[in-house]
């Protein structure tokens, strides 16, 4: 297996995904193996940050003091160009089907991916 | 063969000063009394979990507290599907002669035992700890994402979803144990505070204290018998990020397996008890299960189809949305109400014919599904 690349969950401004060198399966949640075929030689790569909005939910009621400071914030599911889906934040007026690109923002003390509409 | 020989349910809402064990005990005693059984008759115990009082061995904690020394006992955790998953397991344990009478019990002082924020925070942890939870989602947000997509694909509106909240409230108004008994309108739902769009406060079930229990037995103990005809599960994912397409969710798979196991069709069903954590949950499950066409469930609500006197009475106690949601016991109230309907004991809520019922539970974010058919036998 290739060396682990740091991503936003580790505080780096990057979205990382894995491609199985045996079966070609693409996965976003990092594992030491391919969840489709079990092979242990997945390749880690940095994603382009390009994608399309699959779903949105504007959170208006948060559960912790840290997150409450940010309401309303828009939670997205984004279908990324490389073939995986991820959860992220984004502009409040995004709609399903919008073409978007990722940047990164601070949220409740951590770095999170934030998508904005292209063009 | 297995029978549901007794049911017990507390009112839901505030039970100030009651612990999870208190609420479990109250429901368990009611279920034993209903079945006409003594503690010594119970040889199996399955229990849910309590977010207020987590314990690695809750079933034996309860067994000791309640005064039973079972030959089989453990807890089960499948989120909102736990109640029906326990019932399914009890059915198989009884059929396999592992136990004769299995007590299935859950209860939690989720409303008064911790802050509402603590409840919301605890439940949000069903999200992925690295890839979802840092984004500050809540359970309503996970379901809000699903709702947004479902509405987009099938042309469902926020007003459509509101119909389910109005229906559940109308049913709760006829049950003295329901947490919310003031009738509401579609306008009230639309005007309620935004929580995680498109879901507003009245699209969401409340947090409640309460308990529920049943006894699953090899032999009938009463006049009217309620038999578990068959059941099945499906688990497609845990996290909403990893959920399959809307057309491939687990409810369709589990109900197809349950239909195959029982030889029953949706056209045989006379009463429906369907998980309703949010209005979108109920709308989607009704359509996934085949109780309404795609995008058509709301129209059926408006036409009275799911009302007490309609063709397919649904959650006549008011569901999670209005009877209340105390965790595992929340969805067990659906089965208790179904049992009362099937045995002709639902008083002013009694439907004409509940001879065959379909129950469905959902855990996580449409992650875990249990479908079950019950049949009245005389």
Q: Does B284 touch chain A (CB under 8 A)?
A: no
Is residue A89 classed as helix, strand or coil in its secondary structure? strand
Same domain membership, residue A54 and residue A111: yes
Give the one of A59, A96, A108 whose C-beta lies nearest to B148's C-beta.
A96
pLDDT at position B150 over 80: yes
Residue A33 and residue A81 in one domain: no
In which region does residue B336 sit, left (phi positive, over 0), alpha (psi from -120 to 50) or beta (all else)?
alpha
| Same domain assignment for residues A20 and A66 | no
* Cβ <8 Å between A55 and B148: yes
- Which of B131, B199, B239 is nearest residue A9 as measured by Cβ atoms? B131
CA B356, B362, B368 angle in degrees (round to 5)?
Answer: 115
A54 lies in the same domain as A104: yes
Cα torsion at B173, B82, B200, B152 (round to 10°)? Answer: -120
Q: Is A18 on the interface with B (CB under 8 A)?
A: no
B340 touches chain A (CB under 8 A): no
The SS3 call for residue A56 is: strand
pLDDT in tens, B247-305: 999 999 999 999 999 999 999 999 999 999 999 999 999 999 999 999 999 999 999 99
How far, in Å, CA of B247 to CA of A84, rounded?
Answer: 18
**Percent over 90 (pLDDT), chain B:** 96
Option in B134, B152, B196 nearest A59 (CB):
B196
Residues A63 and A41 in one domain: no
B371 CB burial (10 A radius; 0-12, 13-18, 19+): buried
Kindly indicate the confidence band of residue B116, based on its pLDDT and cuts at 50, 70 and 90. Answer: confident
Predicted pLDDT of residue A104: 98
pLDDT at B63 over 90: yes
Residues in B closer than 8 angstroms to A11, CB to CB, are none
Q: What is the pLDDT of residues B179-205, one digit of tens each?
A: 999 999 999 999 999 999 999 999 999
Per-residue pLDDT 10s for chain A (119 aa) are 456 899 999 999 999 999 999 999 999 999 999 999 999 989 999 999 999 999 999 999 998 889 999 999 999 999 999 999 999 999 999 999 999 999 999 999 999 999 999 98
Q: For residue B34, what is the domain's CATH number?
A: 3.40.47.10
**Interface membership of B192 toward A (CB under 8 Å):** no
- The verdict on residue B236 lying in a domain is no
In chain A, the number of structural domains is 2
Residue of A58, A60, A112 lying closest to B135 (CB–CB): A112
Q: Do A85 and A112 reside in the same domain of the chain? A: yes
Chain A interface includes B152 (CB < 8 A): yes
List CB contacts (< 8 A) between A85 and chain B: 241-242
CB of B17 within 8 Å of a chain A CB? The answer is no
- Residues of chain A found within 8 Å of residue B124, distances taken between Cβ atoms: 63
A82 with A100, same domain: the answer is: yes
Which tokens sit at B305? 């189809």
CB pairs under 8 A between A and B: 104
User: Any chain B CB within 8 A of the CB of A110?
Assistant: yes
CB contact B117 to A (< 8 Å):
yes
- pLDDT for A119 equals 80
> Which of B121, B140, B148 lies at the smallest CB-CB distance from A56?
B148
SS3 content of chain B, % helix, strand, coil (to 5): 40, 20, 40
Of B193, B208, B200, B195, the C-alpha closest to B162 is B200
CB B94 within 8 A of CB B218: yes
Do A61 and A31 share a structural domain?
Answer: no
B150 Cβ partners below 8 Å, 6+ apart? B156, B246, B280, B283, B284
- For the segment B352-368, what is each residue's pLDDT rounded down to a tens digit? 999 999 999 999 999 99
pLDDT digits (tens, 9 = 90+) for B201-229: 999 999 999 999 999 999 999 887 999 99
Q: What is the three-class DSSP state of B211?
A: strand
CA distance B20 to B110: 8
Q: Which member of B120, B195, B239 has the closest CB to residue A60?
A: B195
CATH number at residue A106: 2.40.50
Interface with B, mutate which of A16, A60, A79, A96 (most B CBs under 10 A): A60
Residue B99 has pLDDT above 60, yes or no: yes
- Give the minimum alpha-carbon distance from A91 to chain B in angstroms, rounded to a whole number: 14
Indicate whether A82 belongs to any domain. yes
The structural domain count of chain B equals: 1
CA nearest B129 in A: which residue? A9
Long-range contact set of residues B89-92: C-beta below 8 Å, sequence gap at least 24 = B89/B46, B90/B2, B90/B44, B90/B46, B90/B216, B91/B2, B91/B216, B91/B228, B91/B231
List the one residue out of B154, B160, B125, B148 whose CA is nearest residue B54. B125
Q: How far is B194 from chain A (nearest CA, A)?
A: 6
- Please give the pLDDT value at position A2: 54
Nearest CA in chain B to A79: B241
CB-closest option in B136, B193, B198 to A73? B136
Contact between B141 and A57 using a beta-carbon 8 Å cutoff: yes
A42 and A86 share one domain:
no
Mean pLDDT of B146-158: 98
Asked if B128 lies within 8 A of A110 by C-beta distance, the reply is no
- Residue B249 has a pLDDT of 96
Is the domain of A109 the same as that of A54?
Answer: yes
Instruction: Note whether residue B88 is domain-resident.
Output: yes
A69: its two tokens: 């400071």
A113 shares a domain with A60: yes
Threshold 0.95, pTM exceeds: yes
DSSP code of residue B90 = H
Looking at the structure, do residues A62 and A38 belong to the same domain, yes or no?
Answer: no
The minimum CA-CA distance between A43 and chain B, rounded to whole Å, is: 19
For residue A63, the model assigns a pLDDT of 81
Q: What does the alpha-carbon distance between residue B356 and residue B358 come to, in Å, rounded to a whole number?
A: 7
Domain coverage including residue A106: 50-117
User: Among candidates B351, B356, B345, which has minimal Cα distance to B262?
Assistant: B356
């Amino acid at each position: 297996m290739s060396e682990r690349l740091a991503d936003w969950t580790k505080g780096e401004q990057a979205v990382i995904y894995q491609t199985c060198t045996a079966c070609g399966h693409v996965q976003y949640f990092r594992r030491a193996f391919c969840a489709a075929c079990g092979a242990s030689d997945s390749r880690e790569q940095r994603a382009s940050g390009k994608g399309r909005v699959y779903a949105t939910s504007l959170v208006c009621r948060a559960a912790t003091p840290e997150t409450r400071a940010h309401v309303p914030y828009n939670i997205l599911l984004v279908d990324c160009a490389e073939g995986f889906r991820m959860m992220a934040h984004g502009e409040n007026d995004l709609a399903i089907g919008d073409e978007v690109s990722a940047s990164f923002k601070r949220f409740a003390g951590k770095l999170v991916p934030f998508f904005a509409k292209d063009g | 063969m297995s029978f549901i020989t007794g049911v017990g349910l507390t009112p839901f809402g505030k039970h100030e000063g009651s612990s999870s064990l208190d609420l479990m005990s109250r429901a368990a005693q009611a279920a034993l009394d209903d079945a006409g059984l003594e503690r010594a008759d119970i040889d199996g115990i399955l229990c849910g979990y309590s977010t207020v009082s987590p314990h690695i061995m809750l079933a034996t904690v309860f067994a000791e507290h309640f005064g039973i020394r079972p030959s089989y006992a453990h807890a089960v955790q499948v989120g909102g599907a736990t109640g029906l998953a326990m019932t399914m397991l009890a059915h198989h344990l009884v059929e396999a002669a592992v136990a004769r009478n299995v007590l299935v019990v859950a209860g939690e002082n989720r409303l008064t035992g911790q802050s509402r924020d603590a409840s919301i925070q605890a439940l949000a942890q069903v999200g992925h700890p690295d890839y979802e939870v840092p984004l500050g989602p809540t359970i309503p947000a996970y379901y809000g994402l699903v709702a947004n997509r479902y509405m987009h694909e099938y042309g469902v509106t926020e007003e459509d979803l509101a119909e389910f909240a109005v229906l559940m409230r109308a049913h709760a108004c006829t049950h003295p144990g329901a947490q919310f008994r003031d009738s509401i309108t579609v306008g009230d739902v639309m005007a309620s505070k935004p929580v995680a769009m498109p879901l507003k406060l009245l699209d969401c079930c409340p947090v409640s204290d309460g308990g529920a229990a049943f006894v699953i037995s090899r032999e009938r103990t009463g006049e009217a018998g309620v038999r578990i005809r068959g059941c099945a599960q499906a688990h497609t994912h845990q996290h909403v990020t990893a959920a399959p397409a809307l057309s491939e969710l687990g409810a369709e798979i589990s109900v197809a397996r349950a239909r195959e196991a029982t030889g029953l069709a949706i056209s045989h069903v006379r009463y429906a008890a369907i998980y309703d954590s949010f209005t979108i949950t109920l709308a989607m499950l009704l359509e996934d299960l085949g109780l309404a066409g795609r995008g058509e469930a709301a129209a059926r609500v408006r036409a009275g189809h799911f009302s007490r006197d309609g063709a397919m009475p649904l959650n006549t106690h008011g569901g999670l949305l209005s009877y209340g949601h105390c965790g595992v016991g929340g969805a067990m109230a659906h089965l208790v109400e179904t049992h009362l309907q099937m045995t002709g004991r639902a008083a002013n809520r009694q439907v004409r014919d509940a001879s065959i019922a379909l129950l469905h539970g959902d855990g996580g974010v449409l992650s875990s599904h249990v479908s079950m058919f019950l049949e009245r036998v005389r």
